[in-house]
Chains A and B, each alone.
Chain A
Amino acid sequence: MTALLRAVDVGVAYGDVRVLDGIDLAIGRGELVALIGPNGAGKTTLLHAIAGIAPLCSGTVDIDGHDLARAPRAAKQAIGLAIDPPGLPALLTGRECLALFAGARGLPSIPPATLALGETLALAPVLDRRIDSYSLGMRQKLGILLGLIGEPPLLLLDEPFNGLDPRSALAFKTHLVALVARGDTSVLLATHSLDLAERHATRAVLLMDGRVRRSWDAVELAAMREHPVHSLEKAMAGACGT
């Protein structure tokens, strides 16, 4: 399997605090990798490091054959990072925000696939409203659409189901699984939803104290699904030593 993402010995520090240390992670095409771990483990920082937002203090990140440090634009072309709801520009409308991202990616207009997903997530009726009038769930949906715009091959999603109503969560989950099944899109999903990781991920990676503590491959996850007594929740608790 060709690695779409290859992170080697990645380290990130905020001042004197080492948040990530020696992370090695490779993701192939058509994989859905769940990044799990307790609060403060470094999940969000790892996503930001891969997206080129958090500067690395050690290691390298290679995306679709492009080194993130040497060729950031080519590397970023291959990733889509869902935007955190608080980071959205309050004074723009949802449609303006989508147009801004489409323009920044060099697209002539908002792709029909993005608008179709907006329709599926029931966001279409409010796209012409200003973002400061959106609820948390609406902002979350818009952040997701911004990450998926242009269908980049590697999606980086940080707790994307937070605040989504059950119907939209199911629709988005179905969309993600379909994208991954097509084989040309991979997903790195930071989540606390172990059920989601167990059911849909092809691999689960446990991050603790800025390091990869343990990972479970597709066979192990399938075994957990067949024998609920060996759930990912219990496996994670065991690996965490609790």
Chain B
Amino acid sequence: MVQVGALVLLVLAWSWLAVVMRASADVFAAAVRLLAAVPWNAHSARMAALRYPLIAASCALIPMAAGTALLRHGVVALVWIVCAGAASAWPLVRLARATRLADPCP
């Protein structure tokens, strides 16, 4: 029972992170389109775009840590981090691309 609860925590944390990363990339792309004619600062925009993904990642780490503790296997945390990185990589590339394309001279 404990193991099932731990797995649920791990999967929920990973799903939450994946959804937030995807949503952040979508929303940021929409913001870039909206502000296409406005002279915004690319560095500030990048920081603003990363704020929510970072908060989401911090939140996801709590249930992940709890799940890992319940399973008592350090390697689970490592696997979770690899999976989270895989789910976050493409949204992060999209965030970086959107700022670079919108402001070629930061």
Contact = CB atoms under 8 A, between A and B. Distances in A.
Interface string A211-222: 000000000000
A105 B38 contact: yes
Interface residues of A, number: 24
Contact of B39 (A83, A100, A105): A105
Interface string B24-47: 000000110111111111000100
A77 B37 CA distance: 9
Interface stretch (A67-75, A132-140, A176-184, A223-231): A67-75
Contact of A101 (B38, B41, B104): B38
Contacts, number: 47
Nearest to B106: A73
A76 B34 contact: no
Nearest to A73: B39
B1 interface: no
Nearest to A54: B36
Interface in A64-97: 70-77, 79-81, 83, 87-89
A51 interface: yes
A106 B41 CA distance: 8
Nearest to A53: B36
A50 B21 CA distance: 33
B79 interface: no
Interface of A: 51-53, 70-77, 79-81, 83, 87-89, 100-101, 104-106, 156
Given A89-B34, A156-B37, 8 more contacts: A52-B37, A71-B105, A73-B103, A81-B37, A83-B34, A87-B34, A101-B35, A106-B41
Interface of B: 30-31, 33-41, 45, 103-105
